[in-house]
């Protein structure tokens, strides 16, 4: 198994996109050919179990993303579940939620998650003046740098709304999504999970919100089911790199396709 993984990763390194995290790539192959954990509802929080994993010649890769956090009551539990499965995600954070949740943000970074900006208080960025935009976006980047140090924090505009000014002022790639189960509508974890797993495909960016307990429950179901099918989870940045896409400031990305 080890020789197979190393050979496959070596081949992808020779032919793949620059900038991808090869340690993460090794993990993806390991996940694709190893048992996934049993869903959370069927095991103790610290326990483990095995389910059969489907494998194939091509491993589908997706990015799981979360908006509107951090929220201590839900984001912490989500991080626990992702850590148990060694699954990275991308979090687009609201500036007004950062105060008091700095350690959660540090934990995200420490555990390999990508962190981005979702404005200070979830306002549409279209139609803002340049100064207002800088407060909503640049101000949150400044907060994140105070917490984490220097870094590039990509933008996800609220409601997915962009215009020419947004793209000109973004100062980073702009990340939207290709799969949206509208988890805010009914807080039904089973429906949310099914809405994702019934349509997801290679290269998708999945949108969820880590401020709802139901969305955390759904995320666990989604991850367990897709791991069982042989999917690999990566950050948005690594998804684009995996697909040979060089991200550009102001460009809008809805998927890795």
pLDDT of residue 58: 78
Which class for 243: exposed (0-12), middle (13-18), buried (19 or more C-beta within 10 A)? Answer: middle
CA distance 31 to 187: 29
pLDDT of residue 57: 47
Which residues are 57's β-sheet partners? none
CA distance 104 to 2: 34
Distances (CA, A) of 219 to 77, 133, 152, 211: 11, 31, 26, 12
Which pTM value belongs to this model? Answer: 0.82
pLDDT of residue 105: 99
CA distance 57 to 77: 34
Domain ranges, ordered by start, for the chain = 2-253
CA distance 92 to 115: 6
pLDDT of residue 9: 43
Give the pair of three-digit tokens for residue 82. 């992702």
Tens of pLDDT along 26-49? 556 554 444 444 433 333 332 333
- CATH for 2-253 is 3.20.20.370
Q: Where in the sequence numbering do the catalytic residues fall?
A: 67, 209
For residue 205, what is the enclosing H or E element? strand 205-209
Ranges of residues in the chain whose predicted pLDDT is under 70: 1-57
């Amino acid at each position: 198994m080890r020789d197979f993984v190393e050979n496959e990763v070596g081949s992808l390194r020779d032919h793949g996109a620059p900038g991808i995290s090869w340690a993460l790539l090794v993990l993806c192959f390991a996940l694709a050919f190893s048992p996934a954990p049993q869903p959370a509802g069927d095991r103790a929080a610290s326990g483990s179990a095995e389910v059969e994993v489907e494998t194939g010649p091509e491993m589908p890769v997706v990015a799981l993303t979360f908006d509107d956090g951090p929220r201590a009551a839900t984001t912490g539990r989500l991080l626990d579940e992702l850590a148990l499965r060694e699954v990275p995600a991308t979090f687009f954070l609201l500036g007004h939620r950062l105060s008091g949740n700095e350690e959660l943000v540090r934990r995200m970074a420490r555990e390999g998650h990508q962190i981005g900006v979702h404005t200070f208080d979830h306002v549409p960025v279209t139609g803002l003046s340049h100064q207002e935009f800088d407060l909503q976006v640049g101000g949150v980047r400044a907060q994140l740098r105070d917490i984490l140090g220097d870094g590039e924090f990509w933008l996800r505009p609220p409601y997915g709304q962009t215009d020419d000014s947004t793209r000109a002022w973004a100062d980073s790639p702009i990340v939207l999504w290709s799969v949206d189960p509208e988890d805010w509508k009914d807080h039904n974890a089973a429906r949310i999970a099914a809405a994702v797993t019934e349509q997801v495909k290679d290269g998708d960016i999945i949108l969820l919100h880590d401020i709802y307990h139901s969305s955390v429950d759904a995320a666990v179901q989604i991850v367990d089911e897709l791991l069982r099918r042989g999917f690999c989870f990566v950050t948005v940045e690594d998804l684009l790199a995996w697909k040979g896409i060089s991200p550009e400031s102001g460009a809008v990305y809805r998927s890795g396709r």
